[in-house]
Structure 1
Amino acid sequence: MGKMRKAAATAAGSGKQRFQFQGGIQFYKSRGQHILKNPLVVQSIVQKAGLKSTDIVLEIGPGTGNLTVKLLEVAKKVIAVELDPRMVLELQRRVQGTPQANHLQIIQGDVLKTELPYFDVCVANIPYQISSPLTFKLLSHRPLFRAAVIMFQKEFAMRLVAKPADPLYCRLSVNTQLLARVDHLLKVGKNNFRPPPKVDSSVVRIEPRNPLPPVSFKEWDGLVRLCFNRKNKTLGSIFRQKNVVQLVERNRKAVMAVAQEQGGGGDITMLGENSRSKEEEEEEETGMEVEEDGDNENEDGMDVDDDGSKCQTKEMLLEILEKGKYLDKRSSKLTQDDFLTLLASFNKAGVHFSS
């Protein structure tokens, strides 16, 4: 599969370390460049992509084209996005003079800054540091594609597929699974690469949901962000916190102001309208949860003073949680349906998590 780049530069040897590949191309270990040497893994990825002879395939990070040539044997067309100009030249040389050349389009550039064309299936072996922003860039792409088969660092992949009560279940899990069905396909050990990286990898299949749930992603992510900042605390404890109540108060006033200006309901951007900011995409990389032990319901300095609207807001939040039987539940064990129900209950009461 060309090469794989890790999220962080390898510690040993710095930029002087390099690996000589056939044909004279040097792969720099300091940049995390590795060659997938096992043809069985390459073939397995192609098979699991479920390609049709009419498909247009988007490949990200083709490297020297080990995966590319296999994709060209099956698909109608392959669009390869590659940042390294040396790899672009190697890929061009590899297909030059063959019938495959007419079915390959190469785009040289940063995939995060590239406007992606239409494609049916994405197959990617990506730099690990762009895992989260690339995942959500793909999921915001329109028209929707059928599936993406992507190799990630193993831990990131396990976060994507994690279910409630799984130790790796986090904001990244919840947000990705709202937008897509995610399945783990196969593990790829470090020894399948030359030179071997320091981490194992996993291949994941991502299928965008169509239609998407009719909720505002900003509202959804605002709620999920709050919940997973303290995922091992009860929701009752989280929504008693002074900063959470203040946030809800600010959002309530902001939404009311917008509603007054528009003479109706506030402008709530629905899923599918690419409402994610760059900051939100980058934060998804780790899931953004902050682990805390214990369940101290009355942290010093965190409880709300008994003053007017804030006290009423806190009581309203706790009443909503109690009515839905969520007061003593923890984010780490809530399902997608739980979050959807919870968000609907809050919104119905005029509680918003974006402004």
Structure 2
Amino acid sequence: MPKVKAEKKARVHEEVYKQGILFNTDFGQHILKNPLIVDAIIQKAALRSMDTVLEVGPGTGNMTVKMLDKAKKVVACEIDPRLVAELQKRVQGTPYANKLQMVVGDVLKTDLPFFDVCVANLPYQISSPFVFKLLLHRPLFRCAVLMFQQEFALRLVAKPGDKLYCRLSINTQLLARVDHLMKVGKNNFRPPPKVESAVVRIEPRNPPPPINFQEWDGLVRIGFVRKNKTLGAAFKNKSVMDMLEKNYRIHCSVKNELIDESFDMKQKVMDILEKNEFDKMRARMMDIDDFLRLLQSFNAEGIHFS
């Protein structure tokens, strides 16, 4: 690679930290430098002295050290070995050293340990998969206080009819109570990200809703592929019909139920939608109760989504 191009790439992807660390923005490394915001996040997490805290993306440990002071243990997940070494060096020889456990690697590919509270300044590119990894984790944790790109945070809390209301909104709110806590300007980070950020508090519903999440998500996905379309139009998609018919035939086979030769899956689906007055409804206006009722209507007729 020519020297000029290499230098340009280095400027785009990395910024030198005052301690000599190169922050790699490909990993989403934007270190929160404002101590007031660090303190506010920790306060919102309401840590207890016997808590185990899961932190994702601890960076150089600005938030980690303060949480070690309040909690029994911090399990810090970090993908960059350089930052792992930096954080270990920071607590070496202090009372915090025995309270810190480092997990090196990609958190999406790691089995999460037991924890009471999760606090994270997340790499924004893993926001959605991490939220669902967290919400499907067992045993349930008490709460999570997480930093996201502002638009992603607003999607998490959006309500039916809102412009940003989407599959992410309804799936998250099915499994948890979500509160938008604060906006965080880009200048509070080193290096500054290109977008504004926000902090969200997520509290899992306990007990969790008694439904098969994979099946729920299968239904919601169909509704939100074109959220402004009516459900009647959304369900006429050929691939959707093929999937539902395949699942229906498996269901009947397991139940030893015969299927009439004149069986028409499309007609059956449309009949269910019309009978329950869902055919003219649009996903963007439907709440959790609407989708639960729709799922029950399909399941009662042997139609499943996973």
Compute the TM-score of the two structures, normalised by the length of structure 2.
Answer: 0.91
Question: Do structure 1's residue 111 and structure 2's residue 107 form an aligned pair?
Answer: yes
- Count of residue pairs brought into register by the alignment: 296
Aligned match of 2:126: 130
2:9 corresponds, among 9, 14, 17, to: 14
Aligned match of 1:309: 263
The secondary structure found in structure 1 opposite 2:96 is helix
Deviation sequence 1:24-60 (CA, Å, 0-9, x none): 2222345543221211110000001111111110111
1:258 corresponds, among 251, 254, 258, to: 254
Are residues 322 and 200 of structure 1, via their aligned partners in 2, closer, same or farther at CA, if it must alter by over 3 Å?
same
Aligned match of 1:41: 37
Question: Aligned partners of 1:102 and 1:219: how far apart in 2?
Answer: 43
Root mean square deviation, CA, Å? 1.9
Question: Do structure 1's residue 333 and structure 2's residue 285 form an aligned pair?
Answer: yes
1:246 corresponds, among 233, 242, 246, to: 242
Give the partner amino acid of 2:108.
Answer: L
Give the partner amino acid of 1:340.
Answer: L
Aligned match of 1:196: 192
Does the 8 A contact of 1:190 with 1:201 survive in 2? yes
Does the 8 A contact of 2:53 with 2:73 survive in 1? yes
Give the partner amino acid of 1:205.
Answer: R
Aligned match of 1:304: none
Aligned match of 1:151: 147
Question: Aligned partners of 1:201 and 1:318: how far apart in 2?
Answer: 43
Does the 8 A contact of 2:75 with 2:102 survive in 1? yes
Aligned match of 1:237: 233
Shift in Å at residue 151 of structure 1?
0.8
Aligned match of 2:117: 121
Match runs of 1:212-223 below 5 Å: 212-223=208-219
Aligned match of 1:208: 204
Does the 8 A contact of 2:28 with 2:125 survive in 1? no
Are residues 140 and 124 of structure 1, via their aligned partners in 2, closer, same or farther at CA, if it must alter by over 3 Å?
same
Q: Percent identity?
A: 63
Match runs of 1:168-179 below 5 Å: 168-179=164-175
Give the partner amino acid of 1:309.
Answer: F
For structure 2, list consecutive stretches of 5 or more residues without a partner in the other structure: 1-6
For structure 1, list consecutive stretches of 5 or more residues without a partner in the other structure: 1-11, 265-306
Question: Aligned partners of 1:173 and 1:335: how far apart in 2?
Answer: 10
1:76 corresponds, among 60, 72, 75, to: 72
Does the 8 A contact of 2:57 with 2:122 survive in 1? yes
2:275 corresponds, among 313, 323, 339, to: 323
The secondary structure found in structure 2 opposite 1:197 is coil
Give the partner amino acid of 1:330.
Answer: R
Question: Aligned partners of 2:33 and 2:227: how far apart in 1?
Answer: 40
Question: Aligned partners of 1:13 and 1:329: how far apart in 2?
Answer: 51
Does the 8 A contact of 2:28 with 2:124 survive in 1? no
Question: Aligned partners of 1:340 and 1:258: how far apart in 2?
Answer: 24
Deviation sequence 1:312-343 (CA, Å, 0-9, x none): x3333233222322221110000000000110
Give the partner amino acid of 1:103.
Answer: K
Are residues 316 and 81 of structure 1, via their aligned partners in 2, closer, same or farther at CA, if it must alter by over 3 Å?
same
Question: Do structure 1's residue 345 and structure 2's residue 292 form an aligned pair?
Answer: no
Compute the TM-score of the two structures, normalised by the length of structure 1.
Answer: 0.79
Shift in Å at residue 19 of structure 1?
2.2
Shift in Å at residue 243 of structure 1?
3.8
Question: Do structure 1's residue 51 and structure 2's residue 47 form an aligned pair?
Answer: yes
Shift in Å at residue 349 of structure 1?
1.5
Give the partner amino acid of 1:219.
Answer: E
